[in-house]
Every structure is written in C-alpha cells, then in structure tokens.
Amino acid sequence: MTAADNPLLAPPVLPYRMPDWMAIRPEDYLPAFRAAFAEHLAEVRRITAARSTPTFANTIEALERSGELLERVSHAFYTVSSADATPEIQSVDEQLAPLMAAHVDAIRLDAELYWRVSQLHAQLDTLELSPEQRYLVERHFREMTHAGAGLDEAAKERLTALNQRLSSLSTTFERNLLEDTNQLAIRFDGIEQLRGLSDGEVGAARRAAADRDLDGYLVTLPLFTGHPYLAALQVRESRRRIMAASRARGSRGNAHDNREVVAEIVRLRAERAALLGYSSHAAYVTADETAGSPEAVERMLRGLAPAAARNATAERAALQRIIDETEAEPFALEAHDWAFYTERLRTQRFDIDTAALRPWFEAERVLQDGVFFAATRLYGVTFTERPDIPSYHPGARVFEVHDEDDSAVGLYVLDLYTRDSKRGGAWMNSIVSQSALRGTLPIVVNNLNVPQPADAQPTLLTLDEVTTLFHEFGHALHGLFARVDYPHFAGTNVFRDFVEFPSQVNEMWILWDEVLDNYARHHETGEPLDPGVVERLRASGTFDQGHATSEYLAAAWLDLAWHRLTPEELVNDVAAFEASALADIGLNDPAVPTRYSSTYFAHVFSGGYSAGYYSYIWSEVLDADTVEWFRENGGLTRANGDRFRSRLLGVGGAKDPLQAYRDFRGHDAEIGPLLKRRGLEG
C-alpha cells in the first residue's frame, strides 16, 4: 500500500503534523501499521548491520530517529480507540494488540541491538556526551535489560508469547468494560425518580436516553465506583440502583464478564515477572520506578491506612446521626447513601451545598477564564481556538498555544463530553510528541466524560469536574512544555509514580483568589462566588477525607495485592480475593467501597498502572510540598512559573525525576504537607 492509497502513510500536511482525520477510514489503520512495522524493523536492521564500532550517533541517535512512521500511526489510532471506539475501531484494536506486542518485543529483545547499547553503556565514562545523551544511553540499556533483552532465546520466545497474550487480554478487558458499562446505564421512567438533580442534569439524562432512542431518562456510569449524582439524588432507591449498577460491571456472568480475564492477566504477569528474575509483577514494575520496591509502597500504604480508616469510621458515625435525626424511618447508612448525607453534613457544618455551586462553574468560563487564565499568568502562554484544524471527533476542539514572544508551543485538544464510544474516566495523551531531533512540536489531548446537556442548556460542572479539568490540564502542560532533543524523553515520558505530580500541582489554582474570582461567576448574572462560601470551601479541605483517602488506598492496595502473587497462587474467586486483601489492611468497610473493583479497574488491567496505582498518593507527597513552595514564594507569578516550567515541566523525561525535583525545590519532598492536607496528621 502506498501513501496515495492510505492517508496515514502520507507525509503530514496539516499544521503541527495533525493527522488528516477527515481522510482516515477505520480500514486504513491495519495496513498502515503493517507498513510502519516493516519500516521500523528495516531501520533497526540498518543499525545492527553496521560493522563499525558502536557510537552514540550510529546506535542511540539512529534508534531515536527510527520508528517515526509507527509513532505517527500509533498516536493517531490509540487516540481514536480510547475516545471514539466504534465497533470498526474495536475490531482493529483486537487484531492489532498481539501484532503490536510482537513488534515491540522484536525491537527491545533484539540481541544485536542490545549488544550495541550495552557496549556504549559500558563506556559511558569515556564518551563525550551531553547530560541528556548520557541519560538516554542509561535509559535504553536499563529498559532493554528490564524488558528481557539479556535472556536466552528460549526464554525470549516464551516472553514474547506472554506479552502478546497479555496485550490481547488487556484489549478484551477494556472492550468488556465499555460494553458492560453501556449496558448497565440506568433508565428511569419518570422525572420524580431523579428528584434533587439540577435542570441541566435532568436534561443530560433525557438527552442520553434520546441518543439511544429510549423513552424517559438515562444515567450513564463513570469509571469509578458510584456516581456524582449520588450527592444530590433524594430518592434512595434511585441511588441504590446507580450504585448497584456501578459495582456490577464486569462481574455479571454475561459475555462481558471480566473475572476470568483478571485472573489470567494476573497469572501471566506473575509468570512473566518470574521469567525476568523477579519475585512478583509488583517487584518487576517498581524496580524501575522511583519507589524501587513493593515493600516501599506497602510501607507507605500501611502507614496511611489506619488513620484514613479511623477518620472514615468517625465520618460514618456522623452521617448515621443525621439519618437517625432527620429521617422518619431511620436506616443503616450504606455505600449509596454516603455522598448524599455527606452533602447534608457539609451544609450543616460549613453552610456549603456543593451541588448549588454548579451555576458558578459554567464549562466554557472555567476553561477560558480559569484553566487557560492561570496558565497565561503563570507561564505567559496564550490559547487561540483553531476550528480550521480538524480533529478526530466533532466534539473535540483544537487550540493553538503560543509563548509570550509569540513563538509556537503546540496544539491542545479538548474532548469534554461523554459518549458511548468513549472509555470512562479522564486522561491526557499525545497525538504528536515534541522532539528537536525530529523537528516536531507537541499536540496533546485532554479527554473528560462530562454529561452533555440538552441543546441550548449550559454545561454546568460540579466542583469535582472542575478539579478533573484542572488536573488533566496539568498533564497537558507537561506534554506541551517539555523541550527535549530525543523523542524517548518527550512530554510525560517519565516514571509512572512521578507522572501524576505536575497534574496534581495544577489543581492548586482552582481556589486561588485571583483565578477563582476570574472564572467562578454565575452563568446568568455574572455574580462572583460569595467570598464567604470560598472561605468555607477552604476550611472544609479535610472534610470527608477519611472516606476519600480510604477508597483510594483500598484500590491502591488491591492493585498491589494482585500483583504480588506468584504464578502458583491461583485465584478462582475474585470477590473473595478482594475481601481478603481489604481486610488485611483494614479497609473493608462496606460503606466505603474501593474506588475501583477489579472487574472495572481499567487503570490496572487495561491501562498503564499495573502495580502502579499507588502513584497518585506517592506523587501527592511531591505535589503538597510544591504547593507549600508556591505559597511561600508569592503564588501565581511569572517568576514562579518560569522556575517550575524550566526545572520540571520543561525537562520531560530527560533527567532523573527526583533530581529534577531537587533542582526545583532545593531538597527532597517532605510528607508533612500531605498529611496535613488529608487530615492524617494524628
């Protein structure tokens, strides 16, 4: 197939090398991948066929130049397969998964390539290299060794088979989850069943039903356990139905049941780890992260869990008192009641009704006058919408980003609304990676899953959705600002337990006076958010943190427990395994379910966070310490932004992340600010 037949193989013609989405058809992807695989293998063969002594230029730099077509095709496809997975795209994904795994192994397990990289690594102290080049040699050697390049051929053959099977299973897990999530959307016959929801939320439910040609109202499910609507829904049976559907995903005994998929993924990951010389998949993963070992992760989780559980128990007792005092027929608090009575308690203690704040969080204003405004004040960048540059879906908007001197930074794409073809949750990914070697600037995407209101109604966000937008935009800034020579280090290509740090830092601006006053305006009157409400929001910072921390730690512990199993430790009952693991760490409160149960834990079983879900709180230690630094140094200033950008965001993966942090902060992070933030100081 030639470029004339396949737009994915043609040189990019759109600005910033944006794929020509309007010309690409689902049937173009597999032929493009096959052509890109062949080209990449030929490029690597030219490296290994050289008879000259390995040098940085003829080995490492040549390797960095290789695979550009494959990267272009991959970024285009995986953007669509996550955000607009039509049946045609899902079919491609299933066929592609083992092919991609085999290709990746063909490169990183190549014995001749590994020999050349090893030769350079052994001579590092004698080579005249820049700091980025030296670190690049170290990382290629470490990653190839970690992947199994030093194994014998029989072991490599088994490893390749394991990787292909695991890739297929991850695709199956994600497909099952998407299908079951869509099937479990809850239909309500009458508006009375949705009492307590805003007009916009009711309109979104009506629109969701109409989109499927259904009568009534349809509530679709987010990725996590529960639903934002549980905080406002007054009808207890409606809350119960939503929570039950959420927790049933992937475990109903139907064609989309993920329990056997989970068990096989865990077993094969354990076998692969043993083949590579590690005691468990968790040991394998953490060996190449900042944590270093699963024991270090366990110490942190066990250190935080008792205080979190104690706080959650106290919170549950306070909620039960409200039920006993206010309900005509009191009942025992259950998981589906927690959010609703938490809002009542919040109102009682702090005179805050977070659901009532939504008119102040109109999505476009949050984006333009909050998210973009903070970035402009801090970093000097500006954002201009480019409707002339097509994206992969009509709902995805494209913005061009410029620096203060009007030089181009890259493109930012925002895909805000939920749809049946989009996987759950929120994320950032790259469409084009920055690299001076290749002469490319970045294109990054933020995906959220905000319910789309009925036509002519404004999109009013919850405070949690505002937080998610600021969070994901922190990832986007990391991807936009990194300036590296080599694509290996582009954007967010850093250790998994460091990648959440910049995104969490960006959340600080949500309630920063200068930012909040600029975006939190009533969508009809323009009235600013009452300063008294803002102060009470800040005062309530540790409110309900026992619940929030417990549900997160439960998921992180569940991930660790699964991935410390050996190949011989077979699991036949997923629910029983979960219960035993959560009891072990004291987080088995039925009113506080884990944020993700195994059968819908996409981060771990179809995403990149296996044995790494601890990363969020591990990174939050750095985040909380950084927030203290900003407060001590004047907050939202260009000087502070320039320091954070140049020493952290702009580094990408071209430096050890903890060294980059020390360069920024002046010392290692301290845990005190995190404990204070989450109310765990005692």
User: If you write DSSP's letter for every residue of 574-617 in order, what string do you get?
Assistant: HHHHHHHHHHHHT---TTS--SS-GGG-HHHHTSS-TTTTTHHH
> What pLDDT score was predicted for residue 2?
66
pLDDT for the residue 316: 98
Question: What is the distance between the alpha carbons of residues 351 and 346, in angstroms, rounded to a whole number?
Answer: 7
Helical axes 657-665 vs 496-506, angle rounded to 10° = 30
- The 3-class secondary structure across 338-378, one letter per residue, is HHHHHHHHHHHHHCCCHHHHHHHCEHHHHHHHHHHHHHHHH
> Are both 90 and 237 inside the same structural domain?
no
The β-bridge partners of 382 are 402
Question: Which amino acid is present at 197?
Answer: L
Assign 456 a pLDDT band (cuts: 50, 70, 90): confident
Rounded CA-CA distance 531/184 in Å is: 41
In a domain, 77, yes or no: yes
Give per-residue pLDDT as tens, 512-546: 999 999 999 999 999 999 999 999 999 999 999 99
594 Cβ partners below 8 Å, 6+ apart?
225, 551, 554, 555, 558, 578, 582, 587
Q: Which amino acid, 220?
A: T
How far is 652 from 640, CA to CA, in rounded Å? 18
Q: What one-character-per-residue DSSP string does 465-484 give?
A: HHHHHHHHHHHHHHHHH---
Residues 117 and 46 in one domain: yes
Given a cut of 70, whether residue 363 has pLDDT beyond it is yes
Rounded distance between C-alpha atoms, residue 54 and residue 667, angstroms:
38
Give dist(CA 628, CA 123) in Å, integer: 42
Is the entire prediction scored with pTM above 0.75?
yes
Q: Does one domain contain both 376 and 476?
A: yes
Q: Establish if 30 belongs to a structural domain.
A: yes
55: tokens are 């040098």
Same domain (yes/no): 94, 232: no
Percent of the chain with pLDDT over 70: 99
Q: How confident is residue 487, by pLDDT bands cut at 50, 70 and 90?
A: very high
Residue 544 located in a structural domain: no
Comparing C-alpha atoms, which of 118, 115, 95 is closest to residue 168?
95
Q: Which residues contact 495 (CB under 8 A, 6 or more apart)?
A: 288, 289, 290, 657
Q: Please report whether residue 28 resides in a domain.
A: yes
Domain boundary among 248, 266, 300: 248
Number of domains in the chain: 3
Q: Tell me whether residue 415 is exposed, middle or buried, using C-beta atoms within 10 angstroms of its C-beta: 0 to 12, 13 to 18, 19 or more.
A: buried
Give yes or no: residues 423 and 529 share one domain.
Answer: yes
Q: Are residue 373 and residue 508 in the same domain, yes or no?
A: yes
Region 244-261: mean pLDDT is 98
Structure tokens at 29: 């992807």
- Is 195 in the same domain as 126? no
Domain finish residue from 516, 539, 562: 539
User: 355 pLDDT band (50/70/90 cuts)?
Assistant: confident
Q: Report pLDDT for 174.
A: 97
pLDDT of residue 682 exceeding 70: no
Nearest to 199 by CA among 426, 408, 27, 355: 355
Distance, in Å, from the CA atom of 267 to the CA atom of 169, rounded to the nearest integer, reads 12
DSSP state of 185: P
- pLDDT, tens digit (0-9, with 9 covering 90-100), for 19-75: 999 999 999 999 999 999 999 999 999 999 999 999 999 999 999 999 999 999 999
Instruction: Indicate whether 499 and 384 sit together in one domain.
Output: yes
Q: What's at 609, amino acid-wise?
A: Y
Question: 188 and 146, same structural domain?
Answer: no
Q: Band the pLDDT of 208: cuts 50, 70, 90.
A: very high
Mean pLDDT of 440-465: 95
Question: Which residues are CB-neighbours of 306 under 8 A, at least 6 positions away?
Answer: 586
CB 586 within 8 A of CB 306: yes
- Look up tokens 């097509």; give the residue: 390
Q: Tell whether 652 is covered by a domain.
A: no
pLDDT at 159 over 70: yes
Distances (CA, A) of 671 to 84, 139, 675: 40, 28, 6
For residue 348, being part of any structural domain is answered with no
Q: For residue 64, what are the domain limits?
A: 15-150
Assess if residue 661 is contained within a domain: no
Per-position DSSP letters for 384-404, written without gaps between them: EE-TTS--SSTTEEEEEEE-T
Same domain, residue pair 433 and 371: yes
State yes or no: pLDDT of 639 exceeds 90: yes
DSSP annotation of 429: E
Residue 558's H or E segment, with its range, is: helix 545-562
Catalytic residue list contains 64: no
* Calpha distance 638→405 (Å, rounded): 14
For residue 259, the surrounding DSSP H or E stretch is helix 259-275
Q: How far apart are CA 54 and CA 117, in angstroms?
A: 8
Same domain flag for 102 and 229: no
* Residue pair 220/473 in contact by the 8 Å Cβ criterion: no
Inter-residue contact 668 to 658 (CB < 8 Å): yes
- Name the strands in the sheet holding 396-402, side by side, starting at the edge strand that comes first in the sequence: 382-385, 396-402, 408-417, 443-450, 427-432
Residue 614 domain-assigned (yes or no): no
Shared domain for 193 and 95, answered yes or no, is no
Q: Which amino acid is at 48?
A: T
pLDDT value at 579 more than 90: yes
Of the listed 71, 132, 315, 472, which one is catalytic? 472
Kindly report the average pLDDT of the chain as a whole number. Answer: 97
Identify the domain boundary among 196, 217, 248: 248
Q: What is the CATH number of the domain that holds 31?
A: 1.20.1050
* DSSP 8-state code for residue 411: E
pLDDT digits (tens, 9 = 90+) for 103-120: 999 999 999 999 999 999
The average pLDDT across 450-475 equals 95
Percent of the chain with pLDDT over 90: 98
